[in-house]
Amino acid sequence: MTVPIHTRVELLAEVDDRVARMKSACGQFDQGTLVEAMTVAVHVRALVHHTDTTRALIDQRDLTWVDTAGVPHPKNQSGAACLTLMKIRSGPQGYAEYVPKLGLYPPAPIRTRDGGRIDRGSRIPFDHWWTNPVVRDCDGADYSRKQLVLALANELVASDDPETTAARRALADSYSLGWVLAGETGGAAGKTFERNPVPASVRQIGYEVIESIRQQRDILG
């Protein structure tokens, strides 16, 4: 059980501490320690995800959330990773890798779940932000921020939350994505995290959370 936070000062201190630790994990990810995406996921989960036994630090309904992804085009069934960019490594061992957009996303509008368009980086309601599809695997299965965060967070700090169990199972079932989870199809052995969009996507989710809190810190609590 978590200890309830009673005052706004306590809440802000707890949020600031959690954000600082998430920024540290993001920095390590950016320096090449890609497994830190799991740490980022743990911090995002603590900030926004309620369970039957724990409360998120932030009442998400009070905030709107920075969206740098939009949703995949409904006619694109060949795979999509809306939170990331593709970087091509040159040379004889060249390959493509997924990298988070961070604040360098193009100014083009993005598609909403209702079929409309908004500027990339606009803020949207939490339910849309948390449950919109943002990754589509090679078989056409969609995954939301919620599923990516809960599945990756569980690899580092296990939870008996039914939603976490369902999210991990859904991601593990993906032929093209599931190997990012330890113990699934041999884990990441023989493969590299940068060739899977999930870690970079979770890093970008961390960016969105940090930006959302920074822009609206005055209304927390």
Q: Is the pLDDT of residue 185 over 80?
A: no
Backbone phi, then psi, for 25, in 5-degree steps? -65, -40
Burial class (CB in 10 A: 0-12, 13-18, 19+), 106: exposed
In terms of average pLDDT, the best of 56-60, 159-163, 203-207 is 203-207
Tokens matching residue 203 = 């890093």
Q: Judge whether 26 lies within some domain.
A: yes
Other Cβ atoms closer than 10 A to 127? 13
| Number of separate domains in the chain | 1
Spatial separation of the C-alpha atoms in residues 50 and 43, rounded to whole Å: 13
The more confidently predicted of residues 187 and 206 is: 206
- pTM greater than the 0.85 cutoff: yes
pLDDT band at 193 (very low <50, low <70, confident <90, very high): low
Output the CA torsion 176→180→181→186 (10° steps): 80
CB 83 within 8 A of CB 69: yes
Backbone phi, then psi, for 85, in 5-degree steps? -115, 160
Q: Among 44-48, 148-152, 167-171, 204-208, where is mean pLDDT lowest?
A: 167-171
Average pLDDT, the chain: 86
Q: Judge whether 2 lies within some domain.
A: no
Domain region containing 41? 8-219
pLDDT band at 191 (very low <50, low <70, confident <90, very high): low
Give Cβ neighbours of residue 92 (< 8 Å, ≥ 6 apart).
none
Residue 142 sits at the vertex; the CA angle it makes with 144 and 170, to the nearest 5 degrees, is: 80
Q: Judge whether 44 lies within some domain.
A: yes
Q: Judge whether 85 lies within some domain.
A: yes
Q: Judge whether 3 lies within some domain.
A: no
Q: Which pLDDT score is estimated for 170?
A: 86
Please give the average per-residue pLDDT across 113-120, as a whole number: 92
Q: Is the pLDDT of residue 4 over 60?
A: no
Percent of the chain with pLDDT over 70: 87
Q: Judge whether 71 lies within some domain.
A: yes
pLDDT in tens, 117-173: 999 999 999 999 999 999 999 888 999 999 999 999 988 877 777 888 888 888 887
